[in-house]
Amino acid sequence: MAEKEKKKSGTRTRSGSESIKRIQDGSQPQTETEKKAACADLKKELARLTKDMPYEDLRFLVAQSLVLLRNREAESLEREFAESYEAAGRSASTSSSGEKKKGKSNKPAQAAPPIQIIRSSSGNANLVINGQFKLLTTEELAAIAKISLGDGSEAELLDRLYRWLYRERRDIILDAGMSDKFSPTLRALLAFCKKTFTKRAAKE
């Protein structure tokens, strides 16, 4: 009986290996129909592989899947921002050319805002600051809004905002070049948040 089970298990393992090999070595789907079919095969294979996985392995896979989804979301937001930036540049160029033909004095094209927040459908958002894209969760965004809209002088708000960033998101401080709480970039971030957020956003 044990030998029978062993053979059965071995057959299933070999079958799974052959399926994985076909997925890895097969040609990339070219059409939408082929992609849908390939996705269906991959989902079946993933279900087969995870059927008997222990809790620890499943938890790891879910964590990795979340990372992949967030990266994909960030890439999508970056593409949208890049497209809107290019469109704004083309618009400014067309406007400048029209002024030249009319003999009007040229005005410098308006630069892209150094700070921008691009929201996603999931509730998370990308903070674009000095060309750096920083993914923020809903909770982080609400915390920044709450600090920015709080009571106190500008110096007090800058101090609170810097302390929060230093404690929770030091990567933003480093990548945006905020040397201290008197940084012009931090001051610009505070001004942007005060202009953009509402009291309701701070409570969400």
Q: What is the pTM of this model?
A: 0.47
The 10 Å CB-count burial string (b at 16+, else e) for 89-117 is eeebeeeeeeeeeeeeeeeeeeeeeebbb
Q: Please state, in angstroms and rounded to a whole number, the distance separating the CA atoms of residues 84 and 87.
A: 5
Which stretches of the chain drop beneath a pLDDT of 70?
Answer: 1-27, 70-113, 199-204
Q: What contacts 101, CB < 8 A, 6 or more positions away?
A: none
Residue 158: what pLDDT? 95
Q: Which is it for the CA torsion 178, 182, 187, 193, positive or negative?
A: positive
197: left (phi over 0), alpha (psi -120 to 50) or beta: beta
Residue 77: what pLDDT? 55
Residue 125: what pLDDT? 85
Q: Please state, in angstroms and rounded to a whole number, the distance separating the CA atoms of residues 155 and 200.
A: 23
In the numeric block, the tokens 């089970």 are attached to 5
Judge whether 99 and 107 are in contact, CB under 8 Å. Answer: yes
